[in-house]
Amino acid sequence: MENKNPNNKKPFSFKNFSNTTLMLIALVTISIFFLFIRSQAANLTNKEISYDEFIQMVEQNLVKTVEINSNRIRIFPKQDIKSFLPSITYYTKPLHNPDLVNYLLESDVTIKGVRDETPVSDWLFTLAMFVMVCAPTIFLFRRMGGGIMNVGRSNAKVYVQKETGVRFKNVAGQDEAEESLKEIVDFLHNPHKYTKIGAKLPKGALLVGPPGTGKTLLAKAVAGEAKVPFYSLTGSDFVEMFVGVGASRVRDLFKQAQQTSPCIIFIDEIDAIGQNRNARLSSNDEREQTLNQLLSEMDGFDSSKGLVVLAATNRPESLDAALLRPGRFDRRIIVDKPDLKGRENILVVHAKDVAMDSSVDFNAIALSTPGAVGSDLANMINEAAINAVKAGREAVSQADLFEAIEVVLAGKEKKDRIMNAQEKRRVAYHEVGHALVTALQKDSEPVQKITIVPRTMGALGYVISTPEEEKYLTTKEDLLSEMIVLLAGRAAEQVVFGSISTGAANDIERATKIARSMVTRFGMSDEFGLINLETIESQYLDPRAVLQCAEETAAKLDRVVQDMLNTAYQKAVSLLENHRDQMDRIALYLLEKESITGKEFMSIFRQETLDEDQPQEAKKEENKEENKQENILKEDIPKDENNSTIPPVTLSKEENEVLNQGEDTRV
C-alpha cells in the first residue's frame, strides 16, 4: 500500500493544539487587534500639520491649548459650539525657536508640558481592554468545555467497571427492575444466544420513578455487571446558550460511544432535553434541536454492536412521544417505592458496614417506614449511627433507629422551645385524642409512640402509628377511620377546653385530602357514585390533583366533602366524651413523662377498659357468686321461735382474734 505521507506528518488541524496553545494564540491575536483599532482611532482624530500652518493658526487666534514635549507639539483648536463633528487634534514636530513660548503667551494660548509617550502605554491600554472585554468571553468558553474549539464536544464522564464499583448485589428493593436490566447485561455478555434466534438488543431503556429510588444506582450496576464503558451525563449538559451546541454534543457523544462499543450511555434527567415539543411556546429553540438530534442518533446506530442507551426521569408524562416509541426507548422500567420486604433488604444493604447490636429488628423498622425510598433509609441508618456515637455506644441499637426515623420525618428535638403549662396541657390532650380514638377503632393502626416534645420541622407533638402488615389496598372503612383519627385532636381540644386552636391545621388538610379523594377518585360517595372528577399529574415528582368538572359540580363536591368531615368530627367527639376518664388519665401520664411508648399507652388504656366493661360482663358472674354466698349465710343464721332471723352479733377486735385461734366466744 502506498504511503501518502512518507514523513509521517499529521495534517494541520486545530485539534492537534492543546487548549493552552490555543489560548496563547488567541491572546496575541486579540492584542494585535486592539492595537490596530487604537491606531485607526488615532488617525481619525489626529492630523499632522506643518510648523508654518501651526504659526498661522496661532496668528488667526484658532488655538486654545498646546502640549509640548521633545517629540511633538499637540495643538487643541478652539471648538465651534455649532459643530457636531468630533474634535480634531493637530500635531507638528517642534523646531528650535526660543521665542515660541513668549509668542504663545502673547497670543493668549495655554501651554502645557507633558512627558514623552512610550510604547508601554499602548500595551497597558491593550491589556486593560483585554481584561474588560475578553476575560468574560474566555470564562464563557471554559464553561462550554475548555475552549472555543471544544464547544460542541461531549463532556460525558466515562467510567469502567472497576471505577463504578457497583453491582446488582449493591442494589435492593427493586427486584423487577433488576430482572429487566439483567437481560440487557446477559445480551452484552452472550449476544449469540439472542441473535441466533433472531432477537435484537433493545436500543434504550427508560428508568421511571420517584426521586431517591435508585435509578442512577441501577444504571451503574448494569455497567458494573456488563464490564463495559459507561458514559454518564445529565440532560442539562447538552443545553447551552448557543443554538446548535447541544446537537453537536449529541453527535460527538454517539460517535465516541460507537468507537468504544459495546458500551452504555446513561442520560440522567432526560426530561431536560426530551420535553414534549407541543408543550412549548417557541418551536425552534436549542432544546428542540438537541432532541431532534438525539432522535436521529438513536435511529442511526446499530444495536447489534452492543450500544445501549439508558435514561432516567421523574416526569415521564412530559417526554415527547417520538422519544418513547418502540425503536428508541423500547422498555419502560418502573423503579417505584419499595414494599415491606424491599425496605428490609435495603436496610440490610446499607447496614452491612455499620455495627449493629442484637436488639436491631429490620422488619420492625421497615414496618415503621411505609413510603420511604432507598435514599431515606440510607439516611436513617446514618443518623442512627451518629446517635449511637453521641450516646457513647459502640453499636447501633433499635432505639437509635427509631430515633433516626423521627429525626428524618420530624426533625431534631427543639430543646429551646419551652411551652407554658396551658399550651403543654392542650398539646397533650390533642395527641392523646389521636391515640385514644386510634385504639377505640378496629380499622386503625396500633400506636407506637406519643410525644409532646417539639421538633424542628414545626411539630409540637405527634403520634406514631405502625401498621401490623403491609397493605396494598385501602377500604372505605379504613379511610373513614383515618379521617376520624385525624380530627380527634381538634375534638379533644373542644371536649376538654371548650375552645379550639391552630394546632389542627395539618390534620384538617390531610383529612380534607382523604375526603376529596374518596369522592373524586375512588367513587366512595352516594351523591356522585362511580365518576372520576380529578386526575393526578406528576405522580412521581410532585403529585397534584387537577379537578375536571363543571363549576356547579365543584360546588356540590365541596358540600359533600364538608358533610363527610363534619360527620367524622362528630364521631370523634362522641368517642372522646364517652371515654373522658381514660383520656384524662393518659394525658396526665403523658404530661409527666412527655414521651410514652405504645405499650405504656395500651397498658393504661386496657386497665381503664376493664374497669368500664366489668359491670356489664364480669360483674354479672361476680354478683351471682355474691348472691350464692349470701343465701348460704342466711341458712346458717339462727332463727327464733317465730321463725325470724336473729340479727348477727357484732364481734369486737379481741373476739375476732380469739375466733381465728379456734376458740368459741359466742354466748
Specify the DSSP element, H or E, that contains 573: helix 551-578
Give the CA-trace dihedral at 591, 596, 598, 601, to 10 degrees.
-40
pLDDT for 174 equals: 84
pLDDT for 641 equals: 45
For residues 285-294, give the mean pLDDT. 81
C-alpha cell at 196: 441466533
Peptide bond into 262 cis (omega under 30): yes
pLDDT for 496 equals: 94
Q: Provide the pLDDT confidence category of residue 72 given band limits of 50, 70 and 90.
A: confident
Residues that are catalytic:
431
pLDDT for 396 equals: 92
pLDDT for 3 equals: 47
Give this prediction's pTM: 0.66
Q: Provide the pLDDT confidence category of residue 661 given band limits of 50, 70 and 90.
A: very low
For residues 223-241, give the mean pLDDT. 79
End-to-end CA distance of the chain: 145
- Residue-wise pLDDT for 463-500, tens only, equals 988 887 778 888 999 999 999 999 999 999 999 999 99
Q: Give the bridge partners for 288, in sequence order.
A: none
Q: H helices of 196-240, where?
A: 215-226
Alpha carbons 54 and 37: distance in angstroms, whole number: 28
Burial 417-447 (b: 16+ CB within 10 A, else e): eeeeeeebbbbbbbbbbbbbbbbbbebbbeb
- Residue-wise pLDDT for 593-636, tens only, equals 989 998 899 988 887 655 555 554 444 454 444 454 444 434 44
Q: What is the mean pLDDT of the chain?
A: 77
The DSSP annotation for 234-280 comes to EGGGG--SSTTHHHHHHHHHHHHHHHT-SEEEEEESGGGT-B-GGG-
In a 13 Å sphere around the CA of 47, the CA atoms on its Cβ side amount to 12
Percentage of the chain modeled with pLDDT above 90: 21
Is the alpha carbon torsion for 330, 335, 340, 343 positive or negative? positive
| C-beta separation of 308 from 265 below 8 A | yes
For residues 143-148, give the mean pLDDT. 46
Specify the DSSP element, H or E, that contains 110: strand 110-113
pLDDT for 23 equals: 62
Longest alpha-carbon distance in the chain: 173
